[in-house]
Structure formats: structure tokens, C-alpha cells
Amino acid sequence: MELEHGLSFLPDAEHHGLPAPEYFRTLLDLSRYADEAGLSHVKITEHYLRAYGGYCPSPLAFLAGVAAVTSRVRLMTGCVLPVFHHPLQLASEAAMVDVLSDGRLDVGFARAYLPYEFEAFEVPMDGSRERFVATVDAVRRLWTEEKVTVDTPFFRFAEATALPRPVQVPHPPTWIAAVRSRSSFAWAGEQGHGLLVTPALTPLEEMADHIAVYRESFEQAGHGGGGGRSRVLASLPLYVGVDDREAFATADPLLAHYLRVWAESTDAWTSTVSSDYRGYTGMSRAIRAMTPESFRTLGGAVVGGPRRVTDRVAQIAEILGVDGFLWQVDFGAVGGVVARASVERLCADVLPELASGGWGPKPSVGR
């Protein structure tokens, strides 16, 4: 089985520790390297207000910058948050990036889940699932139809034709990020979307069961005909060290930073309850209970020297049955030199070994 490997970015930097200009210089450098190495994707996530993701309020703006300095790697929103956007704006801006990149855009959609973001945008959490579905459906219609009329409780417009039109036909590949609810995995399959997973708080075996629900729903909905296929990509923090000892010494403080910033962003769930987010109350307690060691031991992160990482990636791929990984390499507000060295070791020392073990292909850099 050939696994795809790309890079995933989710900023957790605080401006006094890692200024935004330095952070984005690192990301553009890594994106150029990913392009040269033949990696599959560069992905980045939308968030606001806090250190957790706050450096990237606009994945599409960042990906337009990546498009200007690359030529092959695919560009993925991972993800945009439709509940905070009008579908006409989202469809038009995404199509513009698809044009600028000569048809290299993948659009991942996710349900926002941080209460303070909903509060700031004055969007109620209850009912946000319905708003999410309505927005995603409208975006796909605006990409493929002209004179679109939509009337929902959240937005309405008549005879709208979104411009520019996307380069990819019928539209850029679409992906749904699913986390906990089996119904979310089933819906993504029924609608024919690709699936993005982040097995951080979910045991690998449980996530594998959810992925199976997605693939079964995809096939039952008839999307497997005509060459279509279900696709699943997993995002996990990754650090490839010179050896295990150096890897743990370098990555564990970075993972501790990442877990702290993530926990602080979810503290609002201590007292927040929403019918659309069952099981989220108390999330920060679960995150605070994790240590860097338990995080990487249970499969939430992959850390080690090349041999350990190779074995662990093959093991996780086998358990989950995914089509590839989008490796989160910017966690912990890591410096550019450290992040670049890890990605270079991934391409030079890990991916060729995975390819020789039947989990190819090999990268074009580091052979």
C-alpha cells in the first residue's frame, strides 16, 4: 500500500516567544522543501484569538502565498471553519486560490469547537451542525452551478454565480474533519467527501472503527463507482531525531508546550454545554491529564529516531487503514532549524524505509 505523506501546520506560538514573521518564514521554507521532496500536501488550520491556531485566521491567504513559491505540492485547508463564513465568500475565495495554484487546492471543512470563537463571532453553538452542513452544501453548489438560489435559516441569496470559477472540475477535492461522533464519519462518507482525522484523544482502535464507518457509508452511497474512492488522511505531531534519545529530549518540551496551549484553549469547555457538542464538556481535563510521554506512547504523536519512527508509522497505518499522513511539524512553537532538520530526516531516512517495506513511494529529495 502506498501512503501519501505531507505536512500539516497548526500554529501554537505566542507572539512574545515566536513572532509571526519568523513563524511564517519557517512555514514557507518547509513548504518549498515539501514541494522539492515530492510530498503530497501542505495543510494549515483556521483558528482565532488564542495561541492555539491564532496565527492563521485565513488558511486560504497562507496557501496563496505557498502557491507562489511552489509548483507541485497540493494545498489543503485543514480546515476552514464554515460556520464563521458566508458560503459565497468561501466558495469565491477558495476558487481564487485554486486558480492561482493552477488547480492544486484541496478544501477541508471542519466544525469549529472552541466556545470563545463562537462567542466572538456571535454564532450560537447550538444549531451550528445544521449551519455547517448548509454552508458546505452551498459552497459545492456555487462551484458547480450558475444562478444558485439558497434559502436557509442562516443565509439566503438568489441567482448567484460565484467568480472566479475553480480550475478543477467539477470542483476542488473536499474533505471533512471528523473527531468523535460516528454520525459525522457516516455523513462524510454519504456525501462523498474525503476524511481528515486527528487521533489525539481517541484510541487508535476506536478511530479505526470510525474510519470503517466512513468507508462503508461512502460505498453504500454509491461514490465508489466511476473510479471514485474513499480517502482518509491522518494528522499527528511528528519529530524525527538523530536517535531516540535526542528525539525525546528535543520533542518532549515541544509537546508539553503544545498540550498546555491546547488545554488552555479548551478551558471554556469546563462550564460550556451544547447539544451539538456532546462529550466536549470537560475536554481540557483530558488534555491536561496527558504528558508528552503518554501522548506519544498512546499514538497521539510520533517521536523517535528514524528506525522507531518508521516502525511506528507502519504500525499506525496498519491499525487505522489510512491512505496517508499529514505530519504536524510546527508544534511547540519550534524553531525553523529544528523543524527543517526533522522534515529532512523524514524524507531521507524514514520514507525510503517505509517504501521498501511496501508503504511507498519514496521522496525525490534525500535519496
List the chain domain ranges.
4-359
Q: How far apart are the first and last CA of the chain?
A: 20
pLDDT at 274: 82
Residue found by looking up cell 511539524 in the block: 329
Confidence class of residue 18 from pLDDT cuts 50, 70 and 90? very high
What single DSSP character describes residue 17? T
- Percent of the chain whose pLDDT exceeds 90: 83
Confidence band, pLDDT 50/70/90 cuts, at residue 151: very high
Q: How far apart are CA 5 and CA 327, in angstroms?
A: 7
Over residues 340-360, the mean pLDDT reads 91
Task: State the Cα–Cα distance between residues 273 and 290, nearest whole angstrom.
Answer: 23
- Selection from 279, 152, 297, 175 nearest residue 231 by Cα: 175
Do 79 and 196 contact (CB within 8 A), yes or no?
Answer: yes
Please check the confidence at residue 13 and state whether its pLDDT lies above 70: yes
pLDDT at position 234, please?
97
Q: Hey, what amino acid is at 8?
A: S
Of residues 154, 148, 105, 114, the one with CA closest to residue 134: 154
Write out the CATH class of domain 4-359: alpha beta
**227 pLDDT more than 70:** no
- Of 25, 27, 19, 87, nearest to 329 (Cα)? 27
Q: Is the pLDDT of residue 229 over 50?
A: yes
Q: At what angle do helices 87-100 and 128-144 cross, to 10 degrees?
A: 50
**pLDDT for the residue numbered 367:** 41
**For position 360, what pLDDT does the model report?**
64
